[in-house]
Structure 1
């Protein structure tokens, strides 16, 4: 378990307000895209009839701006300022986790590929990045090329929802024809990467089970995710949990690509292996427990 250094009151308050700053930034992109649709493109009814499309466009532009003009301290699931020994932000949690990646890899929701420099290990054979936001593909491809992963990294234009992912995996020859559900497979990937993405899948429990099904025996799910504040424990904060609810009511999920602040991701992942009597091993640490963006980071290993 990670050691904890209590933040000063000033630092703690700052950590509670940081997500609000990010939310305002995302809102500004949504407003801008809607105004452009009406006044530049002449699509007067687009904000009413095509709100989902404009929302995706706004989030794509916002996320590219975040990841290219700022460091990870201002990313979607940013952590608070340094409040625990040895950590500056949530980005510091990612390298030691992704160091476990090997073999055939599924990168779930890679966004613009900010973790791409951590995937150059010769132990990694091939990477498939399932990214549903088409507005991020150009940046993702550019980053893969820049990191020397152009031939190794393949972009799948879909989410990890089975109805989208199964056809894509069949096109790549990774699933046999006739497969209709991910729980029908005996395993495809050696490693599955979940970095700040499970907060935004439509059904967390189902996704966790399906990702588990995609793992080969002995395979690993590598996780760095922000989660619901553990406010019922000594490591959590009632105030931070209330702020999570406040931000959700302000439209956090709508403006930030369906991201949710109230996910119990650890519980969903642990339950995903119940069909086999649990995981072979789970090495998990918890960080930033008094903030609106507490994290879990670690490795889940499937029984061989």
Structure 2
């Protein structure tokens, strides 16, 4: 039997997408910007903050991990009547990225929605985060910022609260995933992101891993590909079980015949499931009427 052919990041980058309505900088650095897409319908729009992955690293040989990877997903969500804020951020090989710049960029981009809402018709009471791979980790972490201790590396006076997170093949326990980082990313990207090992900087891991910030107090949907070798689904399942024990509203699903990048490819079954999950979190679709996950 021939081995199934799964999508590459290059193929996802070539998927059709509508152009962004605006490219807007949320900070002064070159990588502190996002693409805003707005639905054509009148009225105030719910918002999905979309965060691309790439092992927290911008350059991968001839390939770059940037917001083009989530352009098709953003475009598809906007087609459903959701404003999308597809963000770029400084990764570990960009000046200022890593600890703490990568985290602060994602957080500041999300909070920048308050300023965008003064110009554009955005409903800040209906904001969800959709993150893929490293972006799934960062998005889940950002949703948990209200759980950070007051005295820490991060000071966010009033984090924008979100109604939910859709984590697509994201790493949610950085310390546990360390033995996989070289296999999945080709180098110790988590160690670089955090600036050391758990033995060297244990407090940073406690602040950076969603698993250490439970309960998050927001709805979470975790979606993984059953054939994903980059972030196998059992990593998400362990976190989901721990989150449920703390009382979090958690949905976990593993999709068959799906690897890492099908999750951000509109038109495939996995892409449809992801779109349905976002629509459900925003109360735009009845969960029972669509297959999202159990």
TM range (shorter): 0.3 to 0.5
In terms of fraction of residues, the more helix-rich structure is 1
TM-score, length of structure 2 as denominator length: 0.35
- Asked which structure has the greater CA Rg, the reply is 1
